[in-house]
Structure 1
């Protein structure tokens, strides 16, 4: 018997040219990169546009030039990603070659997209602050950039994040959408390794979440650097609060993916319910003869009845939370750490507690990203095994192997049909005919 593999049905991969919406999103993403790239190119060319006199960016020109070059390359990668997500050749790119840059871009843009609109809202409501989005900084702070630079740069980042995120959502739905169509309660139980890694990420994430919360609330715990001066209220407090939220979001997403698997079908909520329970109480009854008789008296006893609440969380919700939280936590922790180690004004304003917070951010984000990657790889393997190609036998009969039993193990001859007018043949089996032998070709 010759096995013939059937064509597999695998996840659909769209190879058609991008539709109108994707073309518009691609054009918007590329256009939003132009102002930032032009500004960085002007700074690399020696221009000081947007920089006030005495800016900390002028303290170390070499470090500033390297930072401008790196950020220019990073923003140019957004253009490459926009093309990759919309062109036919982008369908054949290996998954890791797309996911890693996209995860980095999401992590760098998500905090800006969250914090900058909140900072504008605080300013509109009359809150004090500055520095992160203003040119003058807090009271007594050194000048950094002119106000219009932040509006142009951060506005462009928000547009880039929205358009690029929409393109990636469409791309991921077409290529990997089958991996997160289930609900959390339908996932198989996770092993001990993902659970241990998630627990370690939760413990590590408590350090930056706690420190950033204290700094946002006005406590100067370890904030002896000049970069945290004036961050107790206003716009800069929004930045610290945002940095405290993203580690918690990452851990919550990983916890739902790993710790809730196999046991999230029901959530038991113990609810105290008072109900009458008949309890036998022996009481003496006075008659001519004292005979103790049992009397049932209803006594109200509080009983806790577990109420089961069904959990119907789609897998894409905790997966998106782990993606956003881990990317924002790890990339910004690493970026600020590298910028601080590079010297210049930012290094002088970084304390030991801040280095600890950023290091823990990198570790927690990397652990959550590892949990998410393991989850997706496992889902891909499970889906590939579930859609394995079935084996179809051919029409040719299999040849029986010769054994020591001799002719008894040979297949019985198949008699040929006789014509109606043919004479009766002897009882001996028909002689083999060449036309009855299989020719080895598959039937249509």
Structure 2
């Protein structure tokens, strides 16, 4: 039998709708704010998708004379197709994070692509504005560095594409955080609590050690060190390339530090070490894998590829991120059990 609550004035009011019948959707962001973030994320995919599609169709827009992209090899065409699919996945992620049915998507099926997207976009969100600031202050790439760099793409292409990537990253973060808070917020509420098993502590320590080594190498490169880069990359050093090295080194250190905090427990709020590990591990693992894969593939400029030291650094980034991700997974499992 259905009953109705009676207001003190005597007017009847309906009972709240049962939880099982309520619509499940993120409520931490206002409807207007969610729509703005959704439109921004979708619009930010347009420049990259348009350019890549045009290149696959044979256009040379944004490609200067003398660029190796004017006569692309099959492997480059395949890479373009893959990156188009990756950017198109942003559209699917936006739908999952904003539609009611998105709450029913299996956790792993959402967490993995969001983790990868976080990893790929975080260095762009932090590094690209840093490079713009360096140029604004007059410390950008000098003529000597430009002279040793073979023509690849017109400068405006990088500005348009990386601006789009930065907007994508910020918009996706603005949509994912309230979604995650509603669906999994109980796992990072309160303090870290008890330590994780000693075996997980060993993994965290290994991640921190690897991250420290990777961070040291990137710091060396950021301050102008050329060993392990190859003659061409060393000659192309500038304040802009230093920003990239600083970002990657910082991400590696963040991954190791976050893993240690998660493994040791303590009195910190759980969300801060969790966020540190998520972002640091994602960025270090994703970019290490990306750079290592690109280095082991055919060289577009006909060169011999990066030295072994650079390859070891990329592999070290993958190891750091993988170990930190393992600690992160164990932490989330323990919170679920709790």
Shorter chain as denominator, the TM-score bin is: 0.7 to 0.9
After TM superposition, the structure 1 = structure 2 runs for residues 7-156 of structure 1, keeping only pairs within 5 Å, are 15-16=24-25, 19-58=31-70, 60-129=72-141, 138-156=146-164
Q: Classify the secondary structure of the residue corresponding to 1:68.
A: helix
CA 1:57/1:215 → structure 2, altered by over 3 Å: closer, same or farther? Answer: farther
Cα distance in 2, alignment partners of residues 361 and 155 from structure 1: 25
Q: Classify the secondary structure of the residue corresponding to 1:345.
A: coil
Question: What's the CA shift for 1:58?
Answer: 4.0
Is 1:253 aligned to residue 258 of structure 2? yes
Is 1:361 aligned to residue 302 of structure 2? no
Question: What's the CA shift for 1:228?
Answer: 4.0
Q: Classify the secondary structure of the residue corresponding to 1:354.
A: helix
Q: Show structure 2 runs of 5+ residues with no match.
A: 1-18
Cα distance in 1, alignment partners of residues 142 and 292 from structure 2: 22
Cα distance in 1, alignment partners of residues 132 and 257 from structure 2: 28
Task: Output the aligned Cα RMSD.
Answer: 2.1
Question: What's the CA shift for 1:21?
Answer: 2.1
Paired positions, count: 314
Q: Classify the secondary structure of the residue corresponding to 1:343.
A: coil
CA 1:21/1:51 → structure 2, altered by over 3 Å: closer, same or farther? Answer: same
Cα distance in 1, alignment partners of residues 325 and 142 from structure 2: 33
* Counterpart for residue 10 of structure 2: none
- Give the helix-richer structure, 1 or 2: 2
Cα distance in 2, alignment partners of residues 14 and 180 from structure 1: 24
Residue by residue over 1:326-367, the C-alpha shift from the partner in whole angstroms, topping out at 9 and shown as x without a partner, is 000000010111112221237634111110000010111011
Q: Classify the secondary structure of the residue corresponding to 2:98.
A: coil
Question: What's the CA shift for 1:207?
Answer: 2.8
Contact 1:213 1:240 in 2 (8 A): yes
Contact 2:145 2:235 in 1 (8 A): no
Residue by residue over 1:125-158, the C-alpha shift from the partner in whole angstroms, topping out at 9 and shown as x without a partner, is 1103279xxxx96332111211110111001001
CA 1:85/1:44 → structure 2, altered by over 3 Å: closer, same or farther? Answer: same
TM-score by length of 1: 0.67
Q: Is 187-196 or 323-332 further displaced after alignment?
A: 187-196
Cα distance in 2, alignment partners of residues 157 and 45 from structure 1: 22
Q: State which of 357, 361, 371 in structure 1 corresponds to 2:327.
A: 371
Question: What's the CA shift for 1:70?
Answer: 1.1
* Counterpart for residue 3 of structure 2: none
Residue by residue over 1:59-112, the C-alpha shift from the partner in whole angstroms, topping out at 9 and shown as x without a partner, is 642222112111111100000000000111111111100000000001000001
* Counterpart for residue 206 of structure 2: 200
Question: What's the CA shift for 1:243?
Answer: 1.1
Q: State which of 323, 327, 334 in structure 1 corresponds to 2:289.
A: 334
Q: Classify the secondary structure of the residue corresponding to 1:338.
A: helix
CA 1:373/1:213 → structure 2, altered by over 3 Å: closer, same or farther? Answer: same
* Counterpart for residue 170 of structure 2: 162
Cα distance in 2, alignment partners of residues 17 and 258 from structure 1: 30
Cα distance in 2, alignment partners of residues 82 and 377 from structure 1: 26
Contact 1:256 1:318 in 2 (8 A): yes
Q: Classify the secondary structure of the residue corresponding to 2:147.
A: coil
Cα distance in 2, alignment partners of residues 41 and 189 from structure 1: 50
Structure number, greater radius of gyration: 1
Contact 2:204 2:263 in 1 (8 A): yes
* Counterpart for residue 219 of structure 1: 225
Q: Show structure 1 runs of 5+ residues with no match.
A: 1-9, 266-312, 383-444
Residue by residue over 1:263-308, the C-alpha shift from the partner in whole angstroms, topping out at 9 and shown as x without a partner, is x35xxxxxxxxxxxxxxxxxxxxxxxxxxxxxxxxxxxxxxxxxxx
Question: What's the CA shift for 1:189?
Answer: 2.2
Is 1:239 aligned to residue 244 of structure 2? yes
